[in-house]
Copies of this chain bind each other. A is one copy, B any other.
Amino acid sequence: MISLSRKEEKRALIIEAAAQVFARRGFASTLMAEIAIEAGIGKGTLYEYFDSKEDLFFTVFEWFVKATEAKAQVSIAALGGSASHRLQALSDSLMNSWAEMKDMYSLVMEFWSASASSQMRQRFKQAFRQGYGDFRQIVSTLIRDGIERGEFQPQVDIESVAAALVGTWDALLLQAWFDDDFNPLAAARGFMTVVINGLTAKPRKL
């Protein structure tokens, strides 16, 4: 029997190979045989590690979420300075990861689609709800901090702004996916300037 860690390594290898192929061809068009070839193993071996194509796909999803969260956490942890600066830096960091994400981004769309219609939609939906919730949490903490420091206006609707910002970053990447000429980093910069100004400046009368 090969060692357990060896088994784990191979499992990870398969997951990454599968991610490549799913990203390239989409869930429906991907053949298990292709994944096996990409991973350099036999098709039958896949079934030693995963129960089914859907099971493998969901595992890829979990892997992807974990990797993305790790990336976000790193960029948060490294930040210091004013709330405005940290918000700006978070935005930049997320948009910068676009370049290296680009060829994997189609996976995100496959995941969305799976959450709408696959057999496992409930699991996907639940995971997305969780993921968005966690991310909103991070951002709202940052904003709350800004208010407590007296940097942002106290009447700001924290949860709404956090939800919208998370969505905005997501959606800018989506637009970049559709349009090669669209620069998400620049767009995020221009927009964040306005948002931070809006958070900071005393509102005029309605």
Listed in ascending order, the chain A residues whose CB lies under 8 Å from chain B are 25-29, 106, 109-110, 112-113, 115-118, 125, 128-129, 132-133, 156-157, 159-161, 163-168, 170-172, 174-175, 178-179, 182, 186-191, 193-204
Q: List 20 A-B contacts (CB under 8 A).
A: A26-B117, A26-B118, A27-B117, A109-B112, A109-B117, A112-B112, A159-B187, A160-B189, A160-B191, A161-B191, A163-B191, A164-B168, A165-B191, A167-B167, A168-B168, A170-B171, A193-B203, A194-B199, A196-B198, A201-B201
User: Which of A28, A128, A199 gathers most chain B CB within 10 Å?
Assistant: A28
- Contact between chains at B116 and A190 (CB < 8 Å): no
Chain multiplicity (copies)? 2
Contact of A168 among B109, B112, B171 (CB under 8 A): B171
- Contact between chains at A161 and B190 (CB < 8 Å): yes
- Contact between chains at B179 and A164 (CB < 8 Å): no
Report the minimal beta-carbon distance from A26 to chain B, rounded to whole angstroms. 2
* A197 to B197 Cα, complex, angstroms: 8
Q: What does DSSP make chain A's interface, helix, strand, loop or mixed?
A: helix
* A31 to B87 Cα, complex, angstroms: 47
User: Which of A26, A195, A197 gathers most chain B CB within 10 Å?
Assistant: A197
* A106 to B118 Cα, complex, angstroms: 11
Report the minimal beta-carbon distance from A11 to chain B, rounded to whole angstroms. 25
Report the minimal beta-carbon distance from A206 to chain B, rounded to whole angstroms. 9
Contact of A164 among B26, B129, B188, B199 (CB under 8 A): B188
* A157 to B188 Cα, complex, angstroms: 10
- Contact between chains at B163 and A167 (CB < 8 Å): no
- Contact between chains at B25 and A117 (CB < 8 Å): yes
Report the minimal beta-carbon distance from A103 to chain B, rounded to whole angstroms. 11
